[in-house]
Structure 1
Amino acid sequence: MPTDPTHDPHGFARSWIDAWNAHDLDAVLAHFCEDFEFSSPNIVRVTGEASGRLRGKAAVRAYWSAALARLPDLRFELVDVLAGVDGLLILYRGHRGLSAEVFEFDANGQVRRGQALYAG
């Protein structure tokens, strides 16, 4: 039976936060399926992709690698986790202040779609 991160939302969130705090992109990307889609307002600024969306681990790895290079002290602090039927929202504090990531999972328990949200 596939793993369902919504059955242990805090475990998933801790794993995701720990991977980011370790700056371990392989561990971060292990949470995502190969062709996942990620959207963020920062994608437009950093990559020039007008849609604000990237698809696939290679594209997102390049984007996140660039972000880590610019922010060598990047660190997230978990605030809360909200669970849904097939998704999670992770609320955390980072270099921008309060932020959230919304994840939608596939049948294998991997993220198929993610979206970053930032406080004004």
Structure 2
Amino acid sequence: MARPDPESFARDWVAAWNDHDLDAVLSHYADGIVFHSPRIAQVMETGADSITGKPDLRKYWEKALAMASGLFFELDDVLTGSDAITVLYTNHRGQKAAETFVFDEDGEISIAIAAYR
């Protein structure tokens, strides 16, 4: 596992989201990414709570961004685990959120799990 510097990663990741630059966001993720979020079912109008693969993740985020034109994240904290980074932030709705990222040997995110208060 080649985890990037946690603080630099978090700042870059949040900046990409705040710029609504989906290509920059997706540049952090492996092609075979497995992404878990309770928002997937709501946005995609399915029962799914996970997405596998960068193309499907792009479709999900394109739809989610279209529904949240005011999206903005404020970085609250960064936690470092043995093989993961968790980014704590407050979103544009004032909601606390955490995303945990597990990195592959190339330093790309292979598993991501989003959680919301």
- Verify same fold: TM over 0.5: yes
Q: CA deviation at 1:105?
A: 0.5
Pair 1:41-2:7 in alignment: no
What residue in structure 2 maps to residue 29 of structure 1? 26
Name which of 99, 103, 106 aligns with 2:104.
106
Q: CA deviation at 1:12?
A: 0.2
Paired residues for 1:86-105 under 5 Å: 86-96=83-93, 97-105=95-103
Distance in 2, matches of 1:41 and 1:82, equals: 21
Name which of 64, 68, 71 aligns with 1:71.
68
What CA deviation, in whole Å up to 9, does each residue of 1:96-117 have, x standing for no partner? Answer: 4110101011011110000110
Question: Across the two proteins, how many residue pairs are aligned to each other?
Answer: 116
Amino acid at match of 1:77: E
What residue in structure 1 maps to residue 49 of structure 2? 52
What residue in structure 1 maps to residue 80 of structure 2? 83
TM-score normalised per structure 2: 0.93
Amino acid at match of 1:28: V
What residue in structure 2 maps to residue 20 of structure 1? 17
Query: Once superposed, what is the RMSD of the aligned Cα atoms?
Result: 1.3
Q: Secondary structure at the match of 1:26?
A: helix
Q: Secondary structure at the match of 1:78?
A: strand
What CA deviation, in whole Å up to 9, does each residue of 1:54-96 have, x standing for no partner? Answer: 0011101011011111111100000000011110100000034
Amino acid at match of 2:70: D
What CA deviation, in whole Å up to 9, does each residue of 1:4-23 have, x standing for no partner? Answer: 31xx1010000000000000
Task: Give percent identity, aligned residues only.
Answer: 45
Moved over 6 A (4+): none
Q: Secondary structure at the match of 1:38?
A: strand
What residue in structure 1 maps to residue 3 of structure 2? 4
Q: Which runs of 5+ in 2 are unaligned?
A: none
TM-score normalised per structure 1: 0.91
